[in-house]
A and B are shown apart, each in its own frame.
Chain A
Amino acid sequence: MKRRQRGGMLALLTAPLVLFVVILFLWPVARFLALAVDNSDFSNNLPRTIAALADWKAESGLPDEPVFAALVEDLADARRAGKEGVLAQLVNQRVVGSRFLVIKTAKDAADGKLDMRPVRDEVLSKQAGWKNVDLWQVIARQQSARTDYYLLASLDLKRGADNTIEAVSDDRAIFVDALLRTIWISIVVTVICAVLAVPLAQAIVSAPQVWSKLMFALILFPLWTSLLVRTVIWIIVLQKNGPVNSTLLALGIVGEPLDLIYTRFSLYLAMVQVLLPMMVLSVVAVMRRVPTTYMRAALSLGAPWLTAWRRVQLPLILPGILSGGAIVFVFALGYYITPTLVGGPTDQMISSYIAFYTNNTLNWGMGAALSLQLLMILVLFAFLFWTASALFRRKAHVA
């Protein structure tokens, strides 16, 4: 009884940390991700217009007088609340080129320049942009405070004229490519790391102790150096008059400096160098637990070395490769610094797009939708790795 009570008391010691992480980490992240479906800036700033458009159909052409009157009132209010910029941006995202139209109309509305009756003629004569039926159709659809616009956009989809889901035009379809590229780069990096790490781990495990320790320290060292520094160093090493190019030139292998940096090649190189230690650590940890007698038994029974290694050693260290692969892959998916600094424009991964949409265009909805997408892929692949290693363990158990 006393012991139990004590366990409960001790468990309370975790409370401050858990509260800290929930309030300062989970809550901000959840709040940000919720922006992916948030439409309140749209629906709250055009309430009367949206309500007035409830019975309107695109086929009947431009809306009638009450809708225009509502629009002028809404825009005047938005302008007074300082919200017309946000609103203009939201409209502009859906109908490109309408930012200025919204801002100008809002300014005129607030200044009382659109008071002449009928308002419809007044608005259309001063701001001909409102003759665009698409614009009205977009506004009519914003009744809800929630939207699937960003989630669809993050998959290169949109709602068409009849509200069905369709693909966006090819010149605007960038996100599926970015998504596939992110996954592909991560897979390539993970595979390269696995292939490179296994023989190195074997060398570390089978070397005499002094050498083994030295190799282990060398592999650990980069983990202690900042990711940024290691990335910057690749730029220095691979630039036009850097060591690699000058060596190649001096040896006469190439006639003029190669474009090594800002390419997919330099991105792979930098990412592998940064992530390889994690894979090696994971494989070494498992390999150390595998008795060397297994290999010796296989060899003494006459198996060629490579066969013995493939049939005996490899299956035993596979859990280490899987868990290392999971770590490398999950880290690689979220990479931002390295692709931004050493990759070219066509090597950017999802994280760069997230940063771009929130930093440069202040399109928080898009940034949040892409973040949600990235997190979902991360969870999906983590689950796949977990299932793979669970299945594998069961199989090993049965055997």
Chain B
Amino acid sequence: MSADRFRKWLMYAYAATLLAFIILPLLIVVPMSLTSSNSLAFPTPGWSLRWYAELWVDQRWPNALWNSVVIGLSTTVLASLLGIPAAIGLAWSDFAGKRIIYAIIAAPLVTPVVIVGVAAFSFFATLGLVGNKLSIILVHTAMAVPVMLTTVVASLSTFDRTLLRAAASLGAGTMRTFFKVVLPLIAPGVITGAIIAFIISFDEVVVASFLSTGAERTLPRMIFSGVRESISPAIAAVAVLLIAFSAVLLGVIAILQSRSQTLRAKVSA
């Protein structure tokens, strides 16, 4: 029995060490970003918020943030407009070639991102769209749609389709049924998918690097070129803000999921 307990402790100690390896680097930049010094060093020589203030003052960072948000939101909207109908088509019907359609849609997800970036660059260059937000939005949408589709298909699979007939028998048209019955019930899946689509676009750097020029620089693109030159504490400050942002979004999703679980429990009860 004691060997059993020893093994258990060993296992948990191992898990704790490994999780520390995964999480600690993300936490240790927090004190490092609060440095008063001009360079990143640990232990931090003194404390200050100057690098966060710097981000605000240096016009390029708010600019890049704005670009990233615009591109991310547009990607989310476009991915929803394309992804939700497609998810309904795939979840509620059975037809030959369904697998091929899945394969086509998933292609942008598994293609190495450099190939996506270079191909997009050569394609949009012939259309004269390089250095334009639209090109980045279109490619990001292709990259984000597979995830959107997956979460929506998953929530549709638990959708009770007799509700559709109920709505129809009560005289509701297709659109009305969709907006009043289907959409509210699959909302958690849609919102989760939308958040992930936003994050995919918001974090994407390679395609954005190939397709953006000076004024259209996105936040990741700024970080990427900043790191290649020299790492200033400003980069650490941006990293901290982005980690905090991810934490918030993850929290939102966790709440949504527990909500949908209680909702489902209520419906079935």
Which of B14, B115, B239, B250 is close to A200, meaning CB atoms less than 8 Å apart? B14
B86 → A minimal CB distance (Å):
4
User: From B117, which residue of chain A is reached at the shortest CB distance?
Assistant: A355
Size band of the interface chain A makes with B:
35 or more
Q: Which of B7, B107, B142 counts the most chain A CB atoms within 10 A? A: B142
| Complex-state Cα separation, A193 to B250, whole angstroms | 24
A192-222 contact mask (Cβ, 8 Å, vs B): 1 or 0: 0000100110111011000000010111111
Interchain CB contact under 8 A, A6 and B18: no
| Complex-state Cα separation, A330 to B112, whole angstroms | 9
* A234 cross-chain contacts in B, Cβ below 8 A: 25
Please judge, given known A-B contacts A32-B118, A199-B14, A378-B112, whether A218 and B26 are in contact too, CB under 8 Å: no
Say whether chain B's binding surface is mostly helix, strand, loop, or mixed. helix
Q: Please tell me if B83 contacts chain A, counting CB pairs below 8 Å.
A: yes
Q: Please tell me if B73 contacts chain A, counting CB pairs below 8 Å.
A: no
* A199 cross-chain contacts in B, Cβ below 8 A: 11, 14-15
Interchain CB contact under 8 A, A221 and B15: no
Interchain CB contact under 8 A, A7 and B94: yes
Q: Using a Cβ cutoff of 8 Å, how many contacts connect chains A and B?
A: 240
Interchain CB contact under 8 A, B14 and A351: no
| Complex-state Cα separation, A367 to B118, whole angstroms | 9
| Complex-state Cα separation, A3 to B154, whole angstroms | 22
Size band of the interface chain B makes with A:
35 or more
Q: Please tell me if B228 contacts chain A, counting CB pairs below 8 Å.
A: yes
Say whether chain A's binding surface is mostly helix, strand, loop, or mixed. helix
B38 → A minimal CB distance (Å):
13
| Complex-state Cα separation, A58 to B144, whole angstroms | 55
Interchain CB contact under 8 A, B121 and A233: no
| Complex-state Cα separation, A291 to B14, whole angstroms | 23
26 CB contacts below 8 A, A to B, read: A7-B93, A13-B86, A14-B89, A18-B104, A20-B141, A28-B119, A29-B115, A32-B115, A32-B123, A196-B18, A218-B19, A220-B250, A225-B242, A226-B242, A227-B203, A228-B203, A228-B223, A229-B203, A229-B239, A232-B239, A233-B239, A334-B111, A352-B114, A354-B114, A355-B117, A375-B115
